[in-house]
Structure 1
Amino acid sequence: MQLRHLLLCSVFIFFVLYAPQPLLGLFARHFSVSPAAAGSLMTATMLPLAIAPLVYGLFLAKRNPLVILKIAMVILAISCVIFTFAPSFNVLLLIRFIQGITLPAALTAMTSYIGVTYQADLLQRNMTLYIGSTIVGGYFGRMLAALFTDFLSWQSFYYVIAIGLVCLAFAIPKPQKTTAIHTPQSPLLYLKQLKSPLVLKLYGAVFCMFFCFAALLNYLPFILQDSFAITNTREIGLVYTGYLVGALASIATPWLLRKSSSPWRLLTGVFLFYSLTILLLMSQQLLLFVIAFTGFCGAMFVIHSSAAPLVNKISTAPASVTNGGYVSFYYSGGALGSLLPGLIYQQHGQVAFMAVLLLVCLIGLALVYLAGRNTTRG
């Protein structure tokens, strides 16, 4: 399978995950639910994303990931069409949960395919390109959902996603028998290989990173509405441009890694910057908020682009299990971040909300600092 085809599949898969986010305010008004309840549309998807990937990692260790990817994409396409006909908020939640069960199969299949197909510098390069595709999918999924809603209807974008997924799925070539796939002797044997202190610290830091990111991106429409009186979906979508501008920082990750004495040193510095942007996001001035949001996104993407290939280098488990664990911790943070801070926001407002994110971010900073110090001592 050509890498550019895989990257395009990734873009459309991330459309599915993030398209509802800028529409949460619309869903809250249409179905008469609270901001935290509306945010649960993301939680319903990220919760199974947090649990399933490790199981899928073991499952994929003895099956060709391209077959799993094709099946998952077809299921996601069908779910997108059904989503547009949902008569109630509870049905929306159910469909999002089904998508959450399906998405980790696709994500783990893609990262596993890269992990077993490429080595050394090519692994770093192509994993960075994959992460770049998730960034593009996340941004345009949000932006296009907002624009389609403003000019046509929110349902129309879901039809576009469904068509794209089906076309890309059936264009996936038949897997070759020579594809290298690991066959586990025992699931427990491989899970034990993820108990490395360095791997667990990195997983924990990734959890903290995405907890903060999912929380802010999930409740951004409500912050813009309450603090800056921005309610139009098109204008909310434009604010997400800071996401794309910040995402360009991920392109510089290989250069930053070369300039740093170690990946852990880079992660420590970027987590420190991540914390600073959260402090600035407490501002009530729109321009400063947007600038801080752009820096916040940039920091997250550099952390993600550094951590994903790093865990593949330091883990002794198979690529499918290593990446399954990574995706599991990543979306565990997203699942909790998309719900719990929203309860704080509803009760205590923007500053308290950001304070919670800052605390979690500082925990992530401590984890990468300790990991880096232990590596230096070793």
Structure 2
Amino acid sequence: MRLPHLLLCSVFIFFVLYAPQPLLGLFAVEFGVAPAVAGSLMTAAMLPLAIAPLVYGLFLTKRNPLFILRIAMLLLGGCCLLFVYAPTFELLLLVRFLQGLILPAALTAMTSYIGMSFSADTLQKNMTIYIGSTIVGGYFGRVLAAIFSDIWHWQSFYYFIATMLILLAWSIPHTRFKSNNVKSILSPLDYIKQLREGPLLKVYGAVFCMFFCFAALLNYLPFILQNTFLITNTRDIGLVYSGYLIGALASITTPWLLKKVPSAWHLLTAIFLFYSISIVMLMSHQLIVFLAAFTLFCGSMFVIHSTAAPLVNKISKAPPSVTNGGYVSFYYSGGALGSLLPGVIYQHHGQTAFMAALLAVCLCGLMLVIWAYLEGKNTTRG
């Protein structure tokens, strides 16, 4: 499979995950639910993403990842059509949960295919490009959902996603796949034990903290914009997510940044500091400061993501599918909790307390990176 084809699949898969986010305010009004309840549409998809990837990672050690990707995309297309016709909020949640069960199969298949097909600097480069595609998918999934909703209706965007997913799935080539050899005799428990190494587990923990903060802010951004800055139009809310697109540009610079620092650990530490500073700035009630901080926040998150994803592939002794399954699992565990728990703080205590909670979690991630570096610096440099 050619890399551009894989990247296009990635973009539309991320449309599925993030399209509801700018519409949460609309869903809250349409179905008569509170903001934190509306936010559970994101939690419902991320909960399975927190658990299933590791299982899929074990399954993919002996399966063709492209076949899994094709089936997952066809199922996601069907779920998009179910989402359109769900008559109640409870059924919307059920469909989102089903999407959450299918999404990790697609994500783990894509990262595993890259991990199996490339190595060394090419792995770093292509993983960074793949992460760039997830950023593009996340950005345009949010913005186009808001624009379609404003011009036509929110259901029209889901028809578009379903059509593209099905077409792209059928165009994935049928190729032979050779599973990875010697280690195939290991049991699932043996694979999981390989993920328990100190530095690797701490990077996973830092990734958990990183995405906890990111999912929390982007989930409740529509409500912050409405309540603090009086921005209520879905198209305007969608355009505020433009700061998110800067993350794509920032993530592309990651290979260059890595050449300027002694190791990936140093870069992760520095960017986590910027991430923390941006959260402090997001406490501001001035729109210009808030938007600038949001841009810095998104850029920092994606540089961390672009650095950590290849790093775990380099330091892990487990097969790529298991390593990436563990990464995706920790990543979306943070997202599942971040899309729900901070919303309760926001509802009861407001924007400043909400950001303070995110800052505490972010600083935990920073401490984990420093701890991992001190523990593993003799074996992993750059």
Q: TM-score range by the shorter chain?
A: over 0.9
CA distance in structure 2 between the partners assigned to 1:183 and 1:371 by the alignment: 29
Contact 2:135–2:247 (Cα < 8 Å) also in 1: no
* 1:334-349 → structure 2 map (5 Å cutoff): 334-349=335-350
Task: State the partner residue of 1:18.
Answer: 18
Contact 1:58–1:184 (Cα < 8 Å) also in 2: no
2:85 aligned counterpart, secondary structure: coil
Query: How big is the shift at 1:180?
Result: 4.9
Contact 2:63–2:179 (Cα < 8 Å) also in 1: no
Task: State the partner residue of 1:120.
Answer: 120
CA distance in structure 2 between the partners assigned to 1:277 and 1:126 by the alignment: 28
Confirm whether residue 194 of structure 1 aligns to residue 195 of structure 2.
yes
Contact 1:115–1:319 (Cα < 8 Å) also in 2: yes
1:317 aligned counterpart, secondary structure: coil
Task: State the partner residue of 2:243.
Answer: 242
Contact 2:75–2:102 (Cα < 8 Å) also in 1: yes
Contact 2:61–2:180 (Cα < 8 Å) also in 1: no
* 1:90-129 → structure 2 map (5 Å cutoff): 90-129=90-129
Task: State the partner residue of 2:206.
Answer: 205
Question: Residues 289-344 of structure 1: CA distance to partner in whole angstroms, max 9, x if unpaired?
Answer: 00000000000000000000000000000000000000000000000000000000
2:184 aligned counterpart, secondary structure: coil
Task: State the partner residue of 2:155.
Answer: 155
CA distance in structure 1 between the partners assigned to 2:59 and 2:377 by the alignment: 35
How many residue pairs get aligned? The number is: 378
Contact 1:212–1:337 (Cα < 8 Å) also in 2: yes
Confirm whether residue 65 of structure 1 aligns to residue 60 of structure 2.
no
* 1:1-378 → structure 2 map (5 Å cutoff): 1-178=1-178, 180=180, 183-376=184-377
CA distance in structure 2 between the partners assigned to 1:266 and 1:139 by the alignment: 25
Amino acid at match of 2:91: V
CA distance in structure 2 between the partners assigned to 1:291 and 1:180 by the alignment: 46
Q: CA RMSD in A?
A: 1.0
CA distance in structure 1 between the partners assigned to 2:134 and 2:327 by the alignment: 15
Contact 2:62–2:180 (Cα < 8 Å) also in 1: no
Which deviates further from its counterpart, 176-185 or 359-368?
176-185
Unpaired runs of 5+ in structure 1?
Answer: none
CA distance in structure 2 between the partners assigned to 1:278 and 1:202 by the alignment: 21
Query: How big is the shift at 1:178?
Result: 4.4
CA distance in structure 2 between the partners assigned to 1:331 and 1:369 by the alignment: 22
CA distance in structure 2 between the partners assigned to 1:263 and 1:362 by the alignment: 18
CA distance in structure 2 between the partners assigned to 1:218 and 1:30 by the alignment: 18
Check 1:184–1:359 CA distance in 2 against 1; reply closer, same or farther (3 A cut).
farther
1:283 aligned counterpart, secondary structure: coil
1:326 aligned counterpart, secondary structure: helix
Check 1:36–1:213 CA distance in 2 against 1; reply closer, same or farther (3 A cut).
same
Identity %: 71
Question: Residues 339-361 of structure 1: CA distance to partner in whole angstroms, max 9, x if unpaired?
Answer: 00000000000000000000000
Question: Residues 126-178 of structure 1: CA distance to partner in whole angstroms, max 9, x if unpaired?
Answer: 10011000000000000000000000110000011001000100000002244
Unpaired runs of 5+ in structure 2?
Answer: none
1:29 aligned counterpart, secondary structure: helix
CA distance in structure 2 between the partners assigned to 1:111 and 1:238 by the alignment: 29
TM-score for both structures, normalised by structure 1:
0.99
TM-score for both structures, normalised by structure 2:
0.97
Amino acid at match of 2:95: I
CA distance in structure 2 between the partners assigned to 1:42 and 1:264 by the alignment: 31
